[in-house]
Structure 1
Amino acid sequence: MTTPLSLTFSRRPDGAVVLAAAGEVDLSNSAELAAAADRALDGGGPLVVDLSAVEYLDSAGLNELLVRADRIEIVAASLLGPVLTICGLTELTTVHGLEPPPATADGGPS
């Protein structure tokens, strides 16, 4: 059984293609993510993989991102921060959205 995953494409004003994923990425559907990323990368322009609506990302999905790390940027919610950091993706490509919230005047998170 395939885990629900929604993949959509859009284009930013700067011309970069955005591949937005929503749901869960695991062994049952990671090939779909890979195929979509490869289609976008075949166009030659930059690719931003938006994982901000991904609730679960297993090693199969991480592998698909890792093998393309030199050709993509990632947008992710803080939920995925630990796994993206531990596997080394934050060292291999630009990952947006993992920045800690800005501190308030008392030094704590806002």
Structure 2
Amino acid sequence: MTTPLTLTTGQDALGTPMLTAVGEIDMSNAETFAAAIGAAVPVDGGPLVVDLTAVEYLDSAGLATLFHHADHVEVVTGPLLAPLLTVSGLADLTTVRTNVS
């Protein structure tokens, strides 16, 4: 059974391409998450903002996806996932911003 995850694309306030995830990211839907990132990364090499502020759970499969795309993404997260992204070392490889609103 696949864990509920909604993925939408758009742009942030500065016009940067953005992928917004809502729900949980685990091994049941990590391939879908990875495909969405791959499809949304700009062909010009610019960054993709991955908004995880509405993600309630992120397991190692989802984390591995973020590591795989670390050169092309900037991550926005809430206070729930911020420690995980820091401890895992992802914050050392790419920009991780914590949205506390």
Same fold (TM over 0.5): yes
TM-score (norm 1): 0.84
Deviation at 1:43, TM superposition (A): 3.2
- The count of aligned residue pairs is 100
State the alpha-carbon separation in 2 of the partners of residues 82 and 12 from structure 1: 24
Residues 7, 29 of structure 1: CA spacing in aligned structure 2 closer, same or farther, 3 A cutoff?
same
Change (3 A) 1:82 1:18: same
Amino acid at match of 2:11: R
Note the C-alpha offset of 1:91: 0.6
* Aligned counterpart, 1:54: 55
Shifted more, 32-41 versus 9-18: the winner is 9-18
Q: Percent identity, please.
A: 52
Distance in 1 between residues matched to 2:99 and 2:67, nearest whole Å: 17
Contact 2:17 2:42 in 1 (8 A): no
Distance in 2, Cα, partners of 1:73 & 1:98: 13
Partner of 2:19: 19
* RMSD, aligned α-carbons: 1.7
- What TM-score results when the alignment is normalised by the length of structure 2? 0.91
Specify every segment of 5 or more residues in structure 1 that has no aligned partner in the other structure, as ranges: 102-110
Larger mean Cα displacement after TM superposition, 30-39 or 41-50: 41-50
C-alpha displacement at 1:13, in angstroms? 4.5
**2:2 partner letter:** T
The aligned residue for residue 107 of structure 1 is: none
**Structure (1 or 2) with the greater strand fraction:** 2
In the alignment, structure 2 segments of 5+ residues that lack a partner are none
Q: Deviations over 1:34-82 (max 9, x none)?
A: 0010001153332000000000000000000001111100000010012
Tell whether the 8 Å contact from 1:81 to 1:98 is kept in structure 2 after alignment: no
- When Rg is computed on C-alpha atoms for both structures, the one with the higher figure is 1
